[in-house]
Chains A and B, each alone.
Chain A
Amino acid sequence: MATCLCDAFFDEAAKASVEVLEGLGIEVVIPEAQTCCGQPAFNGGDWEASRAVVRHTLEVFSGEDPIIVPSGSCAAMVFHGAPLAFEKEKDRALVDQVGGRTWEVFDFIFRGLGISTWTGSWPGKVAVHSSCHTRGTGTPEAIRSLLGSIEGLDLVDFAEPEQCCGFGGTFSVSFPNISRNMGNLKIDNILATQPDLLVSGDMSCLMHLRGLAEKSDRALPARHAIELLRDTMDASILSHGLANH
């Protein structure tokens, strides 16, 4: 599942996800009919509109194979949000079936494939923003474990890591003042550690933080964490490790 943000803005993150998965010997199918997971309407309170979009997604991603998403937020919509929106619906079982097969990409590599260390080298300081929708999931540990094992890569911890970046989807346009202040506090905390790069498992958070930083002329290099895996991957070593797993 490429996600609508990658479809509209961040093709690089979606490409990197495909390349990493294929590098690990996995056949990747990209259904052309996919659109959005339905989260914008779900969070906005319009559950009827959201369910209509979710139903489309259920149809596009029917089957038995794992569904991999380069976004903790969209993945959580499929396995947590959608079941909530479908509590009283007849097709709830299908929602659960699709949700049960849906993984955030790092969680899939780490827990699904059992790969906890990575290859290559990337000299520099990297700050990891754990997106809110990955709380309580395997993703934060997966990102830290995989990136932390890249040679030369130094993970830096910033203050108040539990605080949200302020994006929150429609929240950012419904509560623009609070959202902006939240984002600026986050940027201050991140920049205090002087990282070479900020990464996250969600482009939405990075879009918000980059957008705020750029508007106020602050440099904040930020990329999806999966792009780092792609750039440092040595497929021959990794697929060997996978075969022995």
Chain B
Amino acid sequence: MASQIIDNYAAELLEDVQQSVRSGSAAGTEKRFKVLFEDFPEADRMRKLAGEVKQHTLDHLDEYLAQAESALEANGAKVHYAWDDKAACGKVEEILQQSSAKTVTKSKSMVSEEVELNDFLAQKGYDLVETDLGEFILQLDGDHPSHVVKPIIHKNRAEIARTFEKHGLGEYNDEPEVITRRARSFMRKKYLAAEATITGANFVSAESGRICIVTNEGNSRFGLAGSRVHIALVGIEKIVPRDIDLSLMLNLLGRSATGQALTVYTEFISGPKAAGAVSGPEEFHVVFVNNRRTEVLESDCREILRCIRCGACMNVCPIYRQASGHAYRSVYPGPLGAVLSPLLAGAEGFPELADLPKASSLCGACNEVCPVDIPIPDLLLRLRDRGKKEHAAKASANTPPMGAWAWVAQSPALWRTSLKSANMLNLLPYEKIPFGPLGRWTKDRTLPPWRGGKFRAWAKNRKKEAK
């Protein structure tokens, strides 16, 4: 029986990486709890309401998508649809070609990771720079985000300082302020030179066609100020029905993600540069990306599409804290990724990621902190059922077979006999068994003495005494 990939990954993870991930995520959990409940003692009711708003939107996504398209176009935006990753990359390239833009700034976008836009544009010869500091460091390192909000949670400042040194951004200096200043002066030139800028979107209001982008560094604003063309790459699940829904979502997003009442910058973009405006892109393109989201919507795990990418679930997840985001071998890590990644992999990719839903003690902490109340443990369980039905080997690794147990548990007489016989195990040195589930348990834990049948005997005697 092969062991679980994520468990091995955690065991082999470098100690300083594990320490970075653990302290970074634990700090996130603590800040969220403090700020959210200080400001909103009944935050749990807000989470439920926000979950209902998002679920309602998903249940009527076709209507809201059409409404958003009309509103966006009325604002002067051009709306495009991309069925899959290739189409999304192709659409971006087409827009860049038509506006003859070769230099591009890009602010943080998970959907762009999903469709592997950076690699695609680099291969096509575009000069693209990530402007979010974390993403910029990853770009220099040829690395990938390991958290949806804190992409470099797995790195420490010494590592970052070495990266900067290696790429000619000054001599080794691991002071965060120095690192930030160096990135800033490098970035300013890029903003001024860029012809196009690519962003994601945190929300799109179907009512007004406004897209909402939150950042803490103001990098998307700089990107917009310096470029002629703005391309927003948006997963179709990012829609909310009305502008007023944003008050609920934004109040929850910042607090859940980083323990901030509001992120430093919250932008509402209603269209391209208005006549007479000093700066801003002349062209505004919105590319709605499906990339199997409609498949997820059809599945029994559709609630995962409520996700607003705050990262609170990975911050609180004990498995994520031990294993780090890269253990999940996909764009989305943690409890969110354990559900979403196998689904986004499609039928043919599912077996490869079928172990992800197993990487949970089903403790439910993720559901408890989720700003849109996604029942993540229930979804993990449904995917486990699917993994078993589809005989996915990665899912069944290290899982004891349940057939014989289930058979005994349906036969009370056999059950009682088995428990009594198990007491004989007390005589065996079974703690020295090096293999199987018992071996994996007793490697680091003792097992209490078997006392099979004791409770039943006690109950029986009492009955007799009472008579």
Chain A contacts to B: CB under 8 angstroms: 2, 4, 6-11, 14-15, 18, 30, 32-36, 38, 40-47, 49-50, 52-53, 55-56, 60, 81, 84-85, 132-133, 135-136, 160, 162-164, 166-183, 185, 207-208, 210-212, 214-216
CB–CB A40/B455 < 8 A: no
* A28 and chain B: residue at smallest CB distance: B459
- Please determine whether A14 and B362 come into contact, CB atoms closer than 8 angstroms: no
Number of B residues whose C-beta is below 8 Å from A? Answer: 67
| B398 lies within 8 A of chain A by Cβ | yes
- Would A178 and B323 count as touching, CB distance under 8 A? yes
Least Cβ–Cβ distance between A179 and chain B, in angstroms: 7
B398, B401, B408, B448: the one within 8 Å of A174 (CB):
B398
Known contacts A11-B451, A47-B388, A180-B445: A173-B400 contact under CB 8 Å: yes
Interface pick from B6-14, B89-97, B104-112, B303-311: B6-14
Given contacts A168-B362, A175-B359, contact A45 B444 (CB under 8 A): no
| A174 and B7 contacting across the interface, CB-CB below 8 Å | yes
Q: Out of A10, A81, A174, A215, which one reaches B397, CB within 8 Å?
A: A174
Cβ contacts under 8 Å, A11 to chain B = 451, 454-455, 458
What A residues does B6 contact at CB under 8 A?
175, 178
User: Nearest residue in B to A49 (C-beta to C-beta)?
Assistant: B406
Q: In the docked arrangement, what's the CA distance between A160 and B405, Å?
A: 35
Contact, CB under 8 Å: A182 / B447: no
Contacts of B8 in A (CB 8 A): 177
A45 touches B384 (CB 8 A): yes
Partner of A53 from B318, B363, B410 at Cβ < 8 Å: B410
**Residue of B316, B396, B422, B459 contacting most chain A CB atoms (<10 Å):** B459
- Which residues in A have their C-beta under 8 angstroms from that of B272? none
A115 to chain B, nearest CB (A): 23
Q: Are A45 and B455 in contact (CB under 8 A)?
A: no
Chain B 364-393 interface residues, beta-carbon cutoff 8 Å to A: 364-365, 367-368, 378, 381-382, 384-385, 387-388
Q: Once the chains bind, are B406 and A177 in contact (CB under 8 Å)?
A: no
Contact A15 B455 (CB under 8 A): yes
From B202-210, B217-225, B288-296, B435-443, give the one contacting chain A. Answer: B435-443
Question: Is B83 interfacial (CB 8 A cutoff)?
Answer: no
Chain B 295-325 interface 0/1 with A at a Cβ cutoff of 8 Å (1 = within): 0000000000000000000001011001100
Given A173-B440, A173-B441, A182-B322, A14 contacting B455 (CB threshold 8 A): yes
Q: CB of B168 within 8 A of chain A?
A: no
Work out how many contacts link A and B, with CB atoms closer than 8 A. Answer: 201
Show 5 residue pairs from A and B whose CB-CB distance is below 8 angstroms, ordered by the A residue: A9-B449, A174-B7, A180-B444, A185-B318, A211-B446
Q: When A164-B363, A215-B446 are in contact, do A170 and B441 touch as well, CB less than 8 Å?
A: no
The reply on B402 being an interface residue by CB < 8 A is: yes
* Contact status of A35 and B409, CB under 8 A, knowing A7-B452, A8-B422, A173-B437: yes
Contact A177 B452 (CB under 8 A): no
B452's partner among A8, A36, A162, A207 (CB-CB below 8 A) is A8
Report A-chain residues with C-beta under 8 Å of the C-beta of B385.
Answer: 45, 47, 85
List A contacts of B378 (CB < 8 A): 84
Chain B residue at smallest Cβ distance from A185: B318
Residues facing A in B392-425 (CB within 8 A) are: 395-403, 405-406, 408-410, 412, 415, 419, 422
Question: Known contacts A45-B387, A84-B378, A164-B365: does B319 contact A178 (CB below 8 Å)?
Answer: yes
Query: Chain A residues near B458 (CB, 8 Å)?
Result: 11, 15
Interface residues of B (CB under 8 A from A): 4, 6-8, 10-11, 26, 29, 316, 318-319, 322-323, 358-365, 367-368, 378, 381-382, 384-385, 387-388, 395-403, 405-406, 408-410, 412, 415, 419, 422, 437, 440-441, 443-456, 458-459
A211 in contact with B368 given A164-B363, A173-B398 (CB within 8 Å): no
Q: Is the contact region of chain A dominated by helix, strand, or loop, or is it mixed?
A: helix
Q: Which of B365, B406, B448 contacts A207 (CB 8 A)?
A: B448
Q: Which residue of B7, B419, B444, B451 contacts A175 across the interface (Cβ within 8 Å)?
A: B7
A215 — which chain B residues lie within 8 A by C-beta?
444-446
Is B402 in contact with A167, judged by CB distance below 8 angstroms? Answer: no
**How far does the alpha carbon of A38 sit from the alpha carbon of B415 in the complex, in Å?**
13
Docked Cα-Cα span, A136 to B437, in Å, equals 31
**In the assembly, what is the distance between CA of A174 and CA of B400, in Å?**
8
Q: Contact check: which of B367, B382, B410, B454 meets A56 at CB < 8 Å? A: B410
A202 to B449, CA, bound (A): 17
Residues of B within 8 A of A177 (CB): 7-8, 10-11, 322
Q: Determine how close the nearest CB of chain B comes to the CB of A27; give it in whole angstroms.
A: 11
Q: Which of A7, A9, A173 lies in contact with B448, CB distance below 8 A? A: A9
CB-based nearest A residue for B18: A181
Do residues A208 and B445 form an inter-chain contact, with CB atoms below 8 A? Answer: yes
CB distance from B316 to the nearest CB of A (A): 7
A39's closest neighbor in chain B, by CB? B362
Note all chain B residues with C-beta closer than 8 A to A45.
Answer: 358, 381, 384-385, 387-388, 395-396, 399
Please, how many angstroms separate the alpha-carbon atoms of A7 and B422 in the complex? 11
Known: A173-B398, A173-B440. 7 other contacts (CB 8 A): A8-B452, A10-B451, A38-B409, A45-B396, A49-B403, A135-B367, A169-B362
